[in-house]
Chains A and B, each alone.
Chain A
Amino acid sequence: MTTTELLRINDLEVAFEERGELTNRPVRGITLSVASREVVGIVGETGCGKSLTGLAVLGLLPKGAVPRGRIVLDGVEQPFDGRGSARGDAISIVFQNPGTAFNPVFTLGRQMRDVIERHRRVDGRPLRRAAAKAHILQYLEQVGLPDPERMYRSYPHELSGGMLQRAMIAMALVCEPKLLILDEPTTALDVTIAKQILELILSLRDRFGFGVLLITHNLGVVREVCDRIAVLYAGRVVETGPTGAVLRAPAHPYTRGLLGALPARHRPGQPLDAIPGAVPGNLLHLTGCSFRDRCPMAVDACAEIDPALEPVSPLHAAACIRVDSVEGSLS
């Protein structure tokens, strides 16, 4: 695997403003990188800031968002307002719900052609229709859709969720992106179909060599496809490292809590180790560690110190002052 850095997110912050006043700060300083050919997972629960991070990279932050920090793709700084962004060219995205991500009144072919016409020029002119079509058919075939000609003429409602997600991936790839962002790509799909889609993403990565930023709440998905992961809590990376290391020996109590809450890791009848409480609603005036109210290991100092990421092994880091007290690896 090459180690060329493809994407770097440096100390990203996203706050929200209403009438000149800050109302919330859902992303509070996220730093992470993706190398080409690498699959990096952003994991976390609702409200941890994972989708906003993805939108920031795309220059698609909602109105009222006040971003800070830097996003650099392949050496080029990406604007937060999306003007001159690499979105659609070097970066593309696959959304969670393929059923609503397509426009229902146009054929798949027409929608994919729009992408090419907007982003691909030959001698300053858009690609000719026939050339665009030939290009699209190749990609429909690459994602394993049967009868690409027919798919090209189909409307979204004529395909199942799994097939539409394949078409969505084909559409994301037609401009040969360097970075593919996947926002919960399998959450809306049945398990067997989800597994096919993950398999497809890995094999396309092998073939085309793009880097992947995978946003998900599903630790199982992360385990299967990610090289590295960043666990987000309350708008911060609380733990990051190679997937195997983080999931085998989680160092942050939140990561341990997430794994402990999985029914797959419990015998029937044995109570699940639920994380008590809920994610803090507003992150504007947090002091100390954001997880301390729910943390089984919190001590007085946790209210004072806002922990930074510290290495627990060469590639593995966690933001917790009690890292040393976390006992050995999980089964």
Chain B
Amino acid sequence: MSAMLTVDNIVKVYRSHRSEVRAVDGVSFEVEAGTTFGLVGESGSGKSTIARCALRLIEPTSGGSSIDGEPINGLRNAAMRRLRASTGMVFQNPIAALNPRLTIEQSIAEPLQTHTALRGRALLARSRELLDEVGLARTHAERLPHQLSGGQCQRVGIARALATRPKLLVLDEPTSALDVSVQAQVLNLLQDLRREHSLSYLLISHDLDVVRYMSDMAGVMRNGSLVEVGPAAEVLVTPTHEYTRRLIAAMPETPGAVPLRQWRALDDSPLPATAAPDLDRSPDEKRILS
């Protein structure tokens, strides 16, 4: 197997005149072709920053990534645009991710107009095909995003990401804004599409259950670093890192979760010295409390 996406020692530092935040601090991993790599972590752990750096939606401070063996960080505009067509991204808030003034069909046609030579009838045919593929009816084509449910909008987001027949999709919290019954529909759709088109996924989620269910490999992020990487069935079932164990214990439905009344003692025990101790503190609080 070969790597569809290689993330090589990416560092992303955000600076302001007063302070700097190392959002991602030297993260490396590979997404094998045809597999799903799931990245879990709490808010602020750097998982979305990694996703954006990996596709070069933002420039990493150092390090970089390769897509299907081709390093992307030195690429100039034209070459980068060509490579972008082989990737797609699905965002968390499906309604906000769509232009409210474009019909569903126009939204789906947009990436095709940017990246392909399809026009007129061929363009229409391909947009229709994409609608079918994500399980939307022809009657949805003329509607506007606000006339659709969240689940339907996310299907549109997936259709847009698939438009240029990419090999790699980055899914950034694709179902966190959806109800469980709709989440199940969307996850099933993503699984089917991956098999049909031999796609590779980089899945970002704070939901351990979703990541374990969807992923072949999984990585756990904390404070900008990967604390644990390996097969999802091992990392998220029999973790070796204390932080992963703690995340699992906090999930209500997950096997391995700890009932609420017994959980307190576990959470109060300090994390090993290698990990920063203040889980619950934002930088502002650290300032206030210090």
Contacts and interface: CB of A to CB of B under 8 A. Distances in A.
B58 to A, nearest CB: 23
Nearest to A221: B252
A142 to B, nearest CB: 16
A198 interface: yes
Interface stretch (A85-93, A257-265, A304-312): A257-265
Most buried by A among B187, B206, B213, B289: B213
A272 B178 CA distance: 15
A265 to B, nearest CB: 7
A194 B210 CA distance: 18
Given A163-B280, A191-B247, A266-B213, A199 B151 contact: no
Contacts of A160: 280-282, 284-285
Interface string B202-214: 0000111110111
A190 interface: yes
Interface in B247-269: 247, 250-255, 259-261, 263-264, 267
A278 B154 CA distance: 14
A45 interface: yes
B165 to A, nearest CB: 24
A74 to B, nearest CB: 28
A202 B288 CA distance: 28
A268 B213 contact: yes
A104 B184 CA distance: 37
- Candidate in B179, B251, B267 with the most chain A CB atoms within 10 angstroms: B179
Contacts of A221: 252
A214 interface: no
A17 interface: no
Most buried by A among B250, B252, B284: B252
Interface size range of chain A in the complex: 35 or more
Q: What does DSSP make chain B's interface, helix, strand, loop or mixed?
A: helix
A96 to B, nearest CB: 13
Given A160-B282, A192-B246, A219 B184 contact: no
Q: Find the residue from A158, A195, A202 having the highest chain B CB count within 10 A.
A: A195
B150 interface: yes
Contacts, number: 134
Contact of B289 (A146, A190, A194, A218): A146
Given A263-B209, A263-B213, A265-B253, A190 B288 contact: no
Given A191-B251, A194-B250, A261 B184 contact: yes
B184 A191 contact: no
B27 to A, nearest CB: 19
A223 interface: yes
Count chain A CB atoms within 10 A of each CB in B150, B191, B259, B288 and give the residue with the most: B288
Contacts of A154: 288
Contacts of A194: 250
Given A195-B250, A195-B263, A147 B184 contact: no
A50 B133 CA distance: 34
A159 B283 CA distance: 9
Contacts of B181: 45, 257-258, 261, 274-275
A45 B206 contact: no
B253 A223 contact: yes
A274 B213 contact: no
A278 B264 CA distance: 38
B233 A268 contact: yes
Given A45-B181, A196-B280, A262-B180, A191 B285 contact: no
A278 B260 CA distance: 33
Interface in A215-267: 217-221, 223-225, 257-258, 260-266
B209 A190 contact: no
A153 to B, nearest CB: 10
Nearest to B186: A274
Given A193-B279, A195-B252, A274-B181, 8 more contacts: A163-B285, A190-B43, A192-B279, A192-B280, A193-B280, A223-B253, A262-B180, A275-B181
Interface of B: 42-43, 149-151, 179-185, 187-188, 191, 206-210, 212-215, 232-233, 246-247, 250-255, 259-261, 263-264, 267, 279-282, 284-285, 288-289
- Which 7 pairs across A and B sit closest by C-beta, in order of nearness? A220-B252, A274-B184, A263-B213, A261-B184, A264-B253, A272-B184, A45-B179
Interface of A: 45-46, 146-147, 150, 154, 157-163, 190-196, 198-199, 202, 217-221, 223-225, 257-258, 260-266, 268-269, 271-276, 278
28 contacts: A45-B181, A146-B289, A147-B289, A158-B288, A161-B43, A162-B280, A190-B43, A191-B208, A192-B42, A193-B279, A194-B250, A195-B267, A196-B280, A199-B260, A199-B261, A202-B261, A258-B180, A261-B184, A263-B183, A263-B184, A263-B207, A264-B209, A264-B255, A266-B213, A268-B215, A269-B191, A271-B191, A278-B182
